[in-house]
A and B are shown apart, each in its own frame.
Chain A
Amino acid sequence: MSLNLAAPSFIAWQLTRDCNLACLHCCTDSAPGRPFPNELTRQESLSIAEQIVKAQVPYVLLAGGEPLIVPHFFELAQFLGHGGVYLKVETNGQIFGEKEAEKLSHLPIRSLQISIDGATQAVYSKMRPGAFLEKTLFACRTARKFNLPLEITFAPTKINIFEAEAVIDLAASLGAFRLNTGHLMRLGTAAKLWEKLNLSPEDYKKFYNLLEMKEKEFSGKMEILFRPFSIQEDLMAKKISSPGTILILPDGRVRVSGFLPYTCADLRQETLIQAWEKCQKAYQNPKISSGFEEILKDDFVLAGANQLRPLETSDLPAMV
């Protein structure tokens, strides 16, 4: 059901594709030195932020790549936060310390989401080559010290599944309000390494059982969010309709869905509200419903989801 909202209820804003890590399971193909060719400037980003505030969008996710390496990240977060927008920030926690936490503590942060993909340095650094678990744990503790709501994500793979329970316990001991997990998404780098990373159906079943058990154990203390468990379940739950959300790419294009290879607007050329209207109309395009149906049949098609192209004008993938 489409709500016919005047503006989005949620904006996921990928500020950059550049990252300080190159994680095996990355769904956005991010890595050091891999920004989009023409990412938004500070001025362009602030102009979009101004439109977000004006449209009373209640909630914005700032993500990447690694959003903290964007030079105007804090300026943008402050502009949105002071404009009354609630914020969620996704970071790998490698460059998050007291200075960063203190700045965010003055803003309406609803979730600071940090990924912990292993409970030991050995496993963590296999998933995130070159990364230090201790830095991530320091980021989590610092976030809590400054009363920031901490959310932990865990992406299950063959490399780290045997530490899943330890990560959940660790998240609780760090004071996280939520642990967010589910089936590994067949997107980006993870899709390229799918056979090496993806669990067997039996292992997913065991993992699901563990999550149900942990959900009971931590009831009232930490939410364990794992339903819908997979992209397919998510699509079935939403009945393929306009979701009230838009996804802004680092170069200002607007993506119809994180699971489909289509863009439907460009915030360098159009206003946020015009882009929002185009997004809603996009869901009437048969390519969208057939795209989702293909994913429901076989998630292999997700592997090409980051080969973006305009929905209306061409079927040729753009090289990005």
Chain B
Amino acid sequence: MSYQSLIKRAWKSGDFVVSQDNSSASQESSTVQSRENVRRELEDIIEREAADASACLAASKGGVMKLAPFVKFREEKFGAVLFETRSEKVYTLSPTGAAVVREIVAGVDSASLFGKLKEKYEDSTGNMEKEAVGFLTELKGKGLIVE
């Protein structure tokens, strides 16, 4: 069940009760109308909040890295590029850099990142981990990824 559906269900379960005054039919009708408005407003807020919910949940797990807001990743023939859309800067990545960011986008946590890279890529020189550590530090320093 999505985050959005979960919150909608909470609303429908009656956890959020608006007190009613039953003194007259017209007042009741106006209260119902007002509840409808409140519900619509809440649902709008839920929709907006839910758009970023998955990313927030992923980031709240310990050690999980993700691209910073405003950063987009695209694979290229030479490796990949990171676009920092707020400052409109473009960073080019080597194939190793691209491999690291691909894992970050896939939601890997920092503890298992190097294991994943070793599973997927041959590292005859043993330099991959060292390069990746340096690269991660640089990415964090430039604010391109957050943990």
Contacts and interface: CB of A to CB of B under 8 A. Distances in A.
Nearest to B89: A9
B92 A110 contact: no
A86 B77 contact: no
A157 to B, nearest CB: 25
Contact of B85 (A7, A56, A58, A105): A58
B47 interface: yes
B84 to A, nearest CB: 9
Given A58-B83, A58-B85, A105 B48 contact: yes
A194 B86 CA distance: 31
Contacts of B48: 105-106
* Contact residues of B: prevailing secondary structure: mixed
B81 A5 contact: yes
A4 interface: yes
Interface stretch (B11-19, B68-76, B130-138): B68-76
A54 to B, nearest CB: 12
Contact of A86 (B70, B78, B90, B92): B70
Contacts, number: 43
Given A4-B78, A5-B76, A9-B90, A106 B83 contact: no
B21 interface: no
A96 B88 CA distance: 25
A244 interface: yes
B105 interface: no
A6 interface: yes
Interface in B73-117: 74, 76-78, 81, 83, 85-86, 88, 90, 92
Contacts of A316: none
Contacts of B85: 58-59, 86, 110
- Chain A binding surface, main DSSP class: loop
B83 A59 contact: yes
Size category, A interface:
10 to 19
Interface in B40-69: 44, 47-48, 51
Given A58-B74, A86-B70, A110 B86 contact: yes
A147 to B, nearest CB: 8
Interface string A148-179: 01000000000000000000000000000000
Question: 5 smallest A-B Cβ distances: which pairs?
Answer: A58-B72, A58-B83, A59-B85, A86-B85, A56-B74
Interface of B: 44, 47-48, 51, 70, 72, 74, 76-78, 81, 83, 85-86, 88, 90, 92
Given A56-B74, A59-B85, A59-B88, 17 more contacts: A3-B92, A4-B76, A4-B77, A5-B76, A5-B81, A9-B81, A9-B83, A9-B90, A10-B83, A10-B88, A86-B70, A86-B85, A102-B44, A106-B51, A110-B70, A110-B85, A244-B90
7 contacts: A4-B77, A6-B74, A6-B76, A7-B74, A9-B83, A58-B85, A110-B70
